[in-house]
Amino acid sequence: MEIRFLHELQQQENNYEKLLVKITTISEDDQIDRLIDEYAKLKEEYAVLSEKKAEIERGILQKKSQCRRLEESKSNYENLIYTPEINSVKKLETLEKQIDDVQKSIELEMDNIDVLRNSLNEVANQIVSVKKKMAFIKKKYETIKANKKEELNFLINEKENIKELIEDIKLNIDEDLYTEYVKMKERLTNPIAEISSRKCSGCNMELPAMDYEAVKLGNSLKCQNCGRILVFKKK
Ligand SMILES: [Zn+2]
């Protein structure tokens, strides 16, 4: 009977080890750190784009006021046509040439404004795309963080349960037997071996019929090949 408890103890100790590994793996997972890095990079990208956008907007404003100034000069020139100062064909031609030049400058500035507006649209689209990415990463980060916390809490709770279970099982095991088990554990993995298909599950050797029957009847025996304590698996 005690061998069964020992076998149960071994299984729970294995479960405990597995839980420890799982907890460590989850704790050391750097997915959250990677998301934080990714978010920081996007934030930088966003700052650069915003600065670029502001610069283009300033450029457009400058060009616009330049246009206004040019429009003013143009209308000043145009008003001159009807003044007495323009009293010769030559003067008129010169004035017309000046008006023409100003008009060309205005058109050039308008073209420049169009180019800037296109860049502005492009940058604005990039900003939207970066913002979308940031929102996605943030959501992912929050979800993963919450899940991780929940999973860790669950596993830690489970770990405590198994720890208590192990202590409870130990109460049913004779101290000498337990000491022997601990010693065996130092050189053997899973020193308590189930019999499966008449074989020792520790070393996979087939048991002599007599040993098999003896263990089946509940006697305590060791595998003649590997030395593990045999336990009969009840169906
Ligand atoms: Zn064996």
Confidence grade of residue 179 (pLDDT, cut at 50, 70, 90): very high
pLDDT-based confidence at 2, cuts 50/70/90? Answer: confident
Instruction: Quote the mean pLDDT of the chain.
Output: 95
Q: How far is the CA of 195 from the centre of ligand 1 (A)?
A: 9
pLDDT tens track for 75-110 = 999 999 999 988 999 999 999 999 999 999 999 999
State the pairing for strand pair 229-232/221-222. antiparallel
Where is 195: in which H helix or E strand?
A: strand 192-196
Confidence (pTM): 0.72
Domain boundaries, the chain: 2-170, 175-232
Mean pLDDT over 129-136 rounds to 98
pLDDT-based confidence at residue 25 (cuts at 50, 70, 90): very high
Residue 211 is encoded by which pair of tokens?
């040993």
53-82, pLDDT tens digit by residue?
A: 999 999 999 999 999 999 999 999 999 999
Distance 171 CA to ligand 1 centre (A): 27
Q: Give the right CATH number for 2-170 from 3.90.226.10, 1.10.287.1490, 3.40.1390.30, 3.40.50.300.
A: 1.10.287.1490
What's the mean pLDDT in 201-226? 94
> From edge to edge, which strands make up the β-sheet containing 192-196?
199-200, 192-196, 229-232, 221-222
Distance (Å, whole) CA 177 – CA 179: 5
Please tell me the distance between residue 19's alpha carbon and the centre of ligand 1 in angstroms: 27
Q: Could you tell me the distance, in angstroms and rounded to a whole number, from the CA of residue 172 to the centre of ligand 1?
A: 25
